Structure 1
């Protein structure tokens, strides 16, 4: 038997999955699944088993998702990019900074260095200290590494905000975005190595897992990640997990999916 890994991004009353629906989903998992911590992933034999993961490290996790996880004692893995962590030691008591759309949060972070919609180092350390949350790598800058991307589309293509100004100009002049976004070998190694190193230094822990930024990766990228000490690599691909810890598939939970969809899909992909 395998296990299902659920992929979330945001839990927010207006800008993500509603906390009410998230609670119902977590209660279903609590009542029907063996819930896995990252450290126990390779040893889990019970059926059905599930793991909860969040990508990007938005600050709404602290205010809307984590209280529910804590109440129900559900572990989670939080994938963050160090370049998008708010550089403060404090822990906020208000969710005000999270009231920013995902698109604007990406744009303001990449173009202005405004990371206020994302979790801070102090908040990440607090979440780690609870024993419920494992903070892991999502690349250094959220830039795609060594894989095939999708061509740039005019309008709200968020990927362009991960580029330096000169490269954004090249895209607008006609250079294919994919050829810039997908790093060459040296850059890819740097993205993954620095992300791991910074997280380990800031959080005082060993980083074991990586979620590919934009879901883009390749055979070569997997080899690079393994050589740097990543034991688990999480994709955005849907499917069944059969012990390949270099290509762990995840079930993305959309903001408008109902409970019937959630129950049937989570059970199906845990087979």
Structure 2
């Protein structure tokens, strides 16, 4: 990017462009990192500083660690302040669990690191919701919730999930009405499946137990498996998810927060209305396309992949030209 004359700009500059049409220099790019993982501090921050760019972390506010000192970065290694093996192992999220499977334990920024990143003037921390959760969306299910390896970071459902509950189809919270398992189903499952993690793991080791559970669930007619949340409940849940993230970021970082990046890029008209009501003014998606001035409600982005500099340079040129960006994005859908 630097060799090609591109510059990573700060979120404040980008917001002025999207909200008020304030011009940006040619070849300006907004470099964003989703979720708030610790590697944004350990690796990304020093690289941005080295090459004269700025960046933005869209953090899942509830995941940021509440305590802890500022941990070392690659800049500390380069400057001789620590050895490479002193860096946090941000590239090794899976750790062995005593029950025999691997457990995912992602490392997130802490609030001291978020403040230090902002004080550096290089990285801004903005909102990516409070918890980045999903909801059940239908009575269709595939298997059961059991102690096992987690392959995804954000797989938590905004509902009471007991061991043995059917694994109902799930989708992003901010774009969907929740299907809520019935109290009768939840209590019947709880009565059959031990809720201690070790005991639940042992329960599912016996195929006969899983068949007993399957028979129990099959005994519920579809309409008794659960029902859908009402409008008031859905609106309250969405408002809480968006307002709590904004309030926490503002309180911890000591400044207003206006930018929101939708989890998975998914949102509904209701979520957009509520987001505006709680005070967000700039909205980032995962859709590809161009970004003209004054278009703050639906900002496009594209993923930077582990490919060559030529690959990245070509896409920067494509997405900085509106008609080419629209054509290319339509071809990629």
Give the TM-score, by structure 2 length: 0.61
Structure 1 position 139, deviation (Å): 0.4
Q: 1:100–1:117: 8 Å Cα contact kept in structure 2? A: no
Select 1:123's aligned residue among 101, 113, 118.
113
Aligned length: 229
**Which runs of 5 or more residues in structure 2 are unaligned?**
73-85, 96-103, 144-148, 179-233, 322-333
Q: Say whether the 8 Å CA contact 1:137–1:196 is kept in structure 2.
A: yes
Alpha-carbon distance in 1 for matches of 2:314, 2:106: 37
Mean CA deviation greater in 179-188 or 133-142 = 179-188
**Cα 1:245–1:164, aligned 2, differ >3 Å: closer, same or farther?**
closer
2:55, 2:172 → 1: CA distance?
34
Following TM superposition, by how much is the alpha carbon of 1:115 offset from its aligned partner in structure 2, in angstroms?
7.0
> CA–CA distance in 1 between the matches of 2:162 and 2:129?
20
Q: CA RMSD in A?
A: 3.0
Kept in 1, the 8 Å contact 2:172–2:266? The answer is no
Indicate if the aligned counterparts of 1:55 and 1:79 stay in contact, CA closer than 8 A: yes
Q: Does residue 1:100 correspond to 2:84, yes or no?
A: no
User: How far, CA to CA, are the matches of 1:214 and 1:152 in structure 2?
Assistant: 22
- Contact conserved, 1:215 with 1:236, CA < 8 A, in 2? yes
Cα distance change of structure 1 residues 130 and 159 upon mapping to structure 2, 3 Å threshold: closer
Three-state SS of the structure 1 residue aligned to 2:310 is helix
TM-score, normalised via structure 1 length: 0.74
1:81-230 to structure 2, matched below 5 A, reads: 81-93=60-72, 94-101=86-93, 104=94, 117-144=107-134, 158=152, 161-163=155-157, 166-167=160-161, 173-178=166-171, 182=176, 184-230=234-280
CA distance in 2, matches of 1:85, 1:204: 16
Based on CA coordinates, which of the two structures has the bigger radius of gyration? Answer: 2
Moved more, 194-203 or 212-221: 212-221
Which stretches of structure 1, 4 residues or longer, exceed 6 Å deviation after superposition? 151-157
Partner residue, 2:2: 27
Measured against aligned partners, the alpha-carbon deviations of 1:181-239 in whole angstroms (never above 9, x if no partner) come to 84622111101100000011011111111111121112222221111111211111111
CA distance in 1, matches of 2:154, 2:123: 30
Task: Give the Cα–Cα distance (whole angstroms) in 1 for the partners of residues 128 and 249 of structure 2.
Answer: 10
In structure 1, C-alpha distance between the alignment counterparts of 2:105 and 2:26, rounded to whole Å: 40
